[in-house]
Chains A and B, each alone.
Chain A
Amino acid sequence: MIEVRNLTKRYGDTTAVDDLSFTVQPGLVTGFLGPNGAGKSTTMRMIVGLDRPTRGEALVGGRRYDRLDQPLRHVGVLLDPGAVHHGRKALDHLRWLAASNGISQQRVVELLEQVGLGGVRNKRIRALSLGMKQRLGVAAALLGDPQILMFDEPVNGLDPEGVRWIRDLMRGLAEEGRTVFVSSHLMSEMALTADEVVIVARGQLVKQTPMEALTENGSLEDAYLELTSGRGL
């Protein structure tokens, strides 16, 4: 479970996240929606301790992320697939991540095969396509077999086969009882993937609701635009 309580982040006079509270339940795929600049990425970064909240707190499995001894065993994170050393081989990238959390090197090899990167594991990351980098990021998130997973725009750069793969992966992870929290701008994709949605605008919670309740009178896109109308940047 992910619990966000009164989370606030200010940069000088600008409030990126404003007293945001919501809970992400296990066993569901929870979509995180909002216009550009709504504070989605900032919220995700605060959940994993990358950015310090001005106020409030975010807990994963009841604890702060930065207090977890081997965090990758509890939480899998894909925030920016480009945040890697591009001169390192794909295999070595996962090897150091595994070493940092006491995860076996065998798991690395298995995962590379699982995400379809077994054939390019000895290629340097700069030589991988955007979709391959995205798959490498997913592999990094899955490395510690965590119960909680967070993906920021995971289908960016993926071809239709890759989009189907990540959708099935997230659905499968949720069906195993894991907590899956995913942000995306692709409403059609969210409608197919998410069981619940958290919608934010200007750093504030607009609505948290089951997907069925949101789409019973139309498409997710229509409902989303109606809820966020006039709340963009």
Chain B
Amino acid sequence: MEILRVEGVNKSFGGLRALNNVNFSVEEGTVHAIIGPNGAGKSTFLNCMIGRLAPDTGTVMFGDISLTGMKPHEINQIGVSRVFQTPEIFDDLTLMENIMIPALAKRDGEFALHAFARVDLDAEIRDKAMHMLEDVGLAEKRDTTASSLSRGDKRRLELAMCLSQDPKLLLLDEPTAGMSRADTNNTIDLLKRIGDRGITKVVIEHDMHVVFSLAEKVTVLAQGTIIAEGKPEDIKGDPRVQEAYLGGAHL
């Protein structure tokens, strides 16, 4: 079953056509990778999907709900979470609080005036947050402020924040960018593990190692258009993909 369906999406910035009539769909429960050379429009595409940018034309359907024109918090509330290219976390708060906030958002909705409840006595939320921190291996750092984490840890934290909401669809924008090989492998393992929960994932990635060890389906984007789509091993040998990446040089 399709969980996400993108039809005829166009997006221009001034004279630059960032996305050109993109049609795309994601099957429920799969890991779908979007790859492409620099400036291919991958991030623009993702931003159009989550309401950060409004596409000029076209529709983005999540199940039978149209995401176009919805506000970011509304899109999240229906079950789409996003991990950013540069970790977006609550820098001044502790790791525990960082995860409790999305957990509360999931439970209490977009706004709840619980001004008299005690957050430290909310066992349900605390247990959930603690459990998530253990899952990503940050449990012993739960009371440190998030700003003191390394970049890899920050990304793991952001991932845990998204996972604590049990999203139906998880969008990851270069989840391993700027990570060492060891950290990258850890993240791949983590992503594989959360794959077992049946969360559909869309991964934007540069690193072919990550793409080929995670994705079940790969879409290649170049100059705002989809040039190829298929299984990882088919994509590897596709001449159009090689041309897009290597400028037509044959190896």
Is B truly associated with A? Answer: no
Residues of A at the B interface (CB closer than 8 Å) are: none
